Structure 1
Amino acid sequence: MTSAEREFDIVVYGATGFVGKLTAEYLARSGGDIRVALAGRSPDKLLKVRETLGESAQNWPILTADAASPSSLADMAARTRVVITTVGPYSRYGLPLVAACAAAGTDYADLTGEAMFVRQSIDDYHKQAVDTGARIVHACGFDSIPSDMSVFALYRRAQTDGAGELGDTDFVLRGFSGGVSGGTVASMIEVFRASSNDPNTRRMLEDPYTLTQDRAAEPELGPQPDLPWRRGREIAPELAGVWTTGFAMAMYNTRIVRRSNALLEYAYGRRLRYAEYMSVGSSVAAPVVSAVASAANNGVVALGSRFFRLLPRRLVERIAPKPGTGPSEQARDRGYYRAETYTTTTTGARYCATIAQQGDPGYKATSVMLGECGLALALDRDKLSDLRGVLTPAAAMGDALLDRFPAAGISLQTVRLGD
Structure 2
Amino acid sequence: MPQHREFDLILFGATGFVGKLTAQYLTTAVPADARIALAGRSADKLAATRAALGPVAANWELVVADSSDPASLAAMAERTKVVVTTVGPYLRYGMPLLGACAAAGTHYADLTGEPLFIHDAIEKFEQTAVDSGAKIVNSCGYDSIPSDLSVYEIYRASLADDTGELESTTLVAYLKGGMSGGTIDSGRAMMEDVAGDSARGKILAHPYSLSPDRSMEPNVGRQSDQALARADSIDASLSGWVTTFIMASHNTKVVRRTNGLLGWAYGKQFRYREVMNAGTSPAAPLVAAGIAGGIVAGMASGAVLSRVSLGRKLLDRILPKPGTGPSEAARLAGWFAMKTFARTSSGAKYQATFSGSGDPGYQATAVLLGQSGLCLAFDTLPDRAGVLTPASAMGEALTQRLRDAGMTIEVTRS
Residue 386 of structure 2: aligned partner: 389
| Aligned AA (1:69) | D
Name the stretch that deviates more: 111-120 or 308-317: 308-317
| Distance across 2 between alignment mates of 1:314 and 1:17 | 23
SS at match of 1:390: strand
| Aligned AA (1:111) | L
| Distance across 1 between alignment mates of 2:9 and 2:311 | 38
| Distance across 1 between alignment mates of 2:46 and 2:125 | 29
User: How far has the Cα of 1:304 moved from its partner?
Assistant: 3.5
SS at match of 2:307: helix
Residue 68 of structure 1: aligned partner: 68
Residue 284 of structure 1: aligned partner: 282
| Distance across 2 between alignment mates of 1:372 and 1:349 | 32
| Aligned AA (1:216) | S
| 1:331-370 correspondence to structure 2 within 5 Å | 331-370=330-369
Name the stretch that deviates more: 389-398 or 299-308: 299-308
User: How far has the Cα of 1:194 moved from its partner?
Assistant: 1.3
| Distance across 2 between alignment mates of 1:336 and 1:51 | 29
User: How far has the Cα of 1:319 moved from its partner?
Assistant: 2.0
Is the contact between residue 19 and residue 367 of structure 1 (CA under 8 Å) also seen in structure 2? yes
SS at match of 1:233: helix
Residue 405 of structure 1: aligned partner: 402
* Alignment partner of 1:258 is 2:263: no
1:220-269 Cα shifts (integer Å, max 9, x gaps): 21100012222111111111x32100101111010000001000111111
Residue 247 of structure 1: aligned partner: 245
| Aligned AA (2:272) | Y
| Distance across 2 between alignment mates of 1:154 and 1:316 | 41
User: How far has the Cα of 1:297 moved from its partner?
Assistant: 2.2
Is the contact between residue 171 and residue 340 of structure 1 (CA under 8 Å) also seen in structure 2? yes
Residue 102 of structure 1: aligned partner: 102
Residue 111 of structure 2: aligned partner: 111
Is the contact between residue 305 and residue 311 of structure 2 (CA under 8 Å) also seen in structure 1? no
| Distance across 2 between alignment mates of 1:346 and 1:50 | 52
| Distance across 2 between alignment mates of 1:190 and 1:270 | 34
SS at match of 2:266: coil
| Aligned AA (1:46) | L
User: How far has the Cα of 1:3 moved from its partner?
Assistant: 3.6
| Distance across 1 between alignment mates of 2:258 and 2:338 | 19
- Normalising by structure 2, report the TM-score: 0.97
Distance change in 2, residues 1:318/1:304 (3 Å): closer
Residue 220 of structure 2: aligned partner: 221
SS at match of 2:172: strand
Name the stretch that deviates more: 400-409 or 308-317: 308-317
Is the contact between residue 7 and residue 81 of structure 2 (CA under 8 Å) also seen in structure 1? yes
Task: State the Cα RMSD in Å.
Answer: 1.2
Residue 372 of structure 2: aligned partner: 373
Is the contact between residue 192 and residue 305 of structure 1 (CA under 8 Å) also seen in structure 2? yes
| Distance across 2 between alignment mates of 1:73 and 1:47 | 19
Is the contact between residue 11 and residue 83 of structure 1 (CA under 8 Å) also seen in structure 2? yes
Is the contact between residue 26 and residue 370 of structure 2 (CA under 8 Å) also seen in structure 1? yes
Is the contact between residue 181 and residue 324 of structure 2 (CA under 8 Å) also seen in structure 1? yes
| Aligned AA (1:397) | M
| Aligned AA (1:391) | L
| 1:163-178 correspondence to structure 2 within 5 Å | 163-174=163-174, 176-178=175-177
What is the total number of aligned residue pairs between the two structures?
412
| Distance across 2 between alignment mates of 1:338 and 1:143 | 13
- Normalising by structure 1, report the TM-score: 0.96
1:246-305 Cα shifts (integer Å, max 9, x gaps): 101111010000001000111111111111111111121112222232222233344432
| Distance across 2 between alignment mates of 1:410 and 1:319 | 36
Residue 129 of structure 1: aligned partner: 129
| Distance across 2 between alignment mates of 1:374 and 1:314 | 36
| Distance across 2 between alignment mates of 1:300 and 1:202 | 16
Residue 297 of structure 1: aligned partner: 295
1:29-75 Cα shifts (integer Å, max 9, x gaps): 11022110000000000000000111111111111100111000000
User: How far has the Cα of 1:312 moved from its partner?
Assistant: 3.5
| Aligned AA (1:326) | G
SS at match of 2:409: strand
Residue 156 of structure 2: aligned partner: 156
SS at match of 1:238: coil
1:181-202 Cα shifts (integer Å, max 9, x gaps): 2221111111111121311011
User: How far has the Cα of 1:326 moved from its partner?
Assistant: 2.1
Is the contact between residue 250 and residue 275 of structure 1 (CA under 8 Å) also seen in structure 2? yes
User: How far has the Cα of 1:390 moved from its partner?
Assistant: 0.3
| Aligned AA (1:142) | Y
SS at match of 1:197: coil
| Aligned AA (1:130) | V
| Distance across 2 between alignment mates of 1:292 and 1:22 | 33
| Distance across 2 between alignment mates of 1:312 and 1:263 | 40
Q: Which runs of 5+ in 2 are unaligned?
A: none
Residue 184 of structure 2: aligned partner: 185
User: How far has the Cα of 1:88 moved from its partner?
Assistant: 0.5
Residue 88 of structure 2: aligned partner: 88
Residue 79 of structure 2: aligned partner: 79
1:69-108 Cα shifts (integer Å, max 9, x gaps): 1000000000000000000010000000011001000000
Residue 18 of structure 1: aligned partner: 17
| Aligned AA (1:294) | A
| Distance across 2 between alignment mates of 1:301 and 1:49 | 35
| Aligned AA (1:109) | A
Residue 147 of structure 2: aligned partner: 147
